[in-house]
Amino acid sequence: GLHLLFDAAHAFGCTHGGRMIGGFGKAEVFSFHATKFFNTFEGGAITTNDDELATRLRAMVNFGFTGVDEVSYVGTNGKMNEVCAAMGLASMRSIDNFVATNRRNHEAYRRCLAHIPGMLLREWAPQEQSNFQYVVVEYTPAADQPARDDLVMALQAENVMARRYFWPGCHRMEPYRTMNAGVDMNLARTEALAEKLLILPTGSGVGVVEIEVICELLATLVLAGSRLRDLRL
């Protein structure tokens, strides 16, 4: 059968069904890029419960070597350098503080967004563990409210780094778009979410006061309605 590989890039420290992310499917891939919850400047990790795959992966990140003079696979130099590893160790000591800060911000957004029409803060299941890296809002505007993209443009014009994560869906990007030409790619739920999601700033550089200002701005923009679209045109 097909092997299931999970993109766990943002899921460090999270659980699903009471199990830590990292042990699902054939393998999972984490990103330790500087933008991630846990970072080593650059880098990442592949986790697997498959001993054979783990042995092969260890060889592939070390030029394919499986012995002193034996190369068994096509490989590369994928080993983490000492500076990145040191950053990872330093980040590890701060994980609990990062989670606490992100959780505080999430709760502040929950309180401040509750009265803005069309804004639904996506919540983590209470029985699960989250790193709260992203503040994910599902925005469903009424006919007299501005479109999601108009909101994003207006927020960014005010130096609020709102994003449309993740837009467009991967099936709309290269090389998948070309590879699947002529194939029915009607992924209705993916398309619907991609048009609605709004990601708001969080992290250690954002405090409750900033969140209150962001939400006040959001409320003003939503009340502006179609005038935002007219300004863009």
CA dihedral 213, 111, 117, 136 (to 10 degrees): 80
30: amino acid identity, one letter: F
* Mean pLDDT confidence for 130-150: 95
Q: What is the DSSP string of 170-230?
A: GGGSTTHHHHTTTS----HHHHHHHHHEEEE--STT--HHHHHHHHHHHHHHHHHTTHHHH
- Please tell me whether residues 178 and 111 are part of one structural domain: yes
The 10s digit of each residue's pLDDT in 156-181 is: 999 999 999 889 998 889 998 888 77
Q: Is the model's pLDDT at 30 over the cut of 60?
A: yes
State the burial class of residue 195 (Cβ atoms within 10 Å of its Cβ: 0-12, 13-18, 19+).
Answer: middle
Q: Are 164 and 137 in contact (CB under 8 A)?
A: no
State the residue range of the domain holding 76: 5-93
- Please tell me whether residues 84 and 123 are part of one structural domain: no
Split at pLDDT 50, 70, 90, the class of 205 is very high
The 10s digit of each residue's pLDDT in 60-114 is: 999 999 999 999 999 999 999 999 999 999 999 999 999 999 999 999 999 999 9
Tokens of 126: 């209470």
Instruction: Give me the CATH number covering residue 53.
Output: 3.40.640.10
Domain boundary among 78, 93, 108: 93
- Please tell me whether residues 177 and 208 are part of one structural domain: yes
Domain boundary among 54, 70, 93: 93
The domain tally of the chain equals 2
- Please tell me whether residues 185 and 160 are part of one structural domain: yes
Q: Which pLDDT does position 230 carry in this prediction? A: 65
End-to-end CA gap in the chain? 51
- Please tell me whether residues 135 and 162 are part of one structural domain: yes
Q: Is the model's pLDDT at 229 over the cut of 70?
A: no
* Mean pLDDT confidence for 140-162: 94
Segment 120-125 long-range contacts (CB within 8 Å, at least 24 positions apart): none
Segment 173-181 long-range contacts (CB within 8 Å, at least 24 positions apart): none
Q: Helices 208-224 and 95-113 meet at what angle, rounded to 10?
A: 30
Separation of alpha carbons 177 and 158, rounded Å? 34
Q: What does pLDDT average to over the chain?
A: 93
- Please tell me whether residues 55 and 147 are part of one structural domain: no
Weakest mean pLDDT among 42-46, 132-136, 168-172, 182-186 = 182-186
Label residue 17 left, alpha or beta by phi (over 0 means left) and psi (-120 to 50 means alpha): left
Domain boundary among 93, 109, 139: 93
Split at pLDDT 50, 70, 90, the class of 186 is confident
Q: Which pLDDT does position 18 carry in this prediction? A: 95
Split at pLDDT 50, 70, 90, the class of 231 is low
pTM for the complete prediction?
Answer: 0.89
Label residue 174 left, alpha or beta by phi (over 0 means left) and psi (-120 to 50 means alpha): beta
Weakest mean pLDDT among 20-24, 42-46, 220-224 = 220-224
Q: Are 134 and 203 in contact (CB under 8 A)?
A: no
* HEC profile of 136-174: EEEECCCCCCCCHHHHHHHHHHCCCCCECCCCCCHHHCC
Q: Which pLDDT does position 227 carry in this prediction? A: 74
Instruction: Give me the CATH number covering residue 159.
Output: 3.90.1150.10
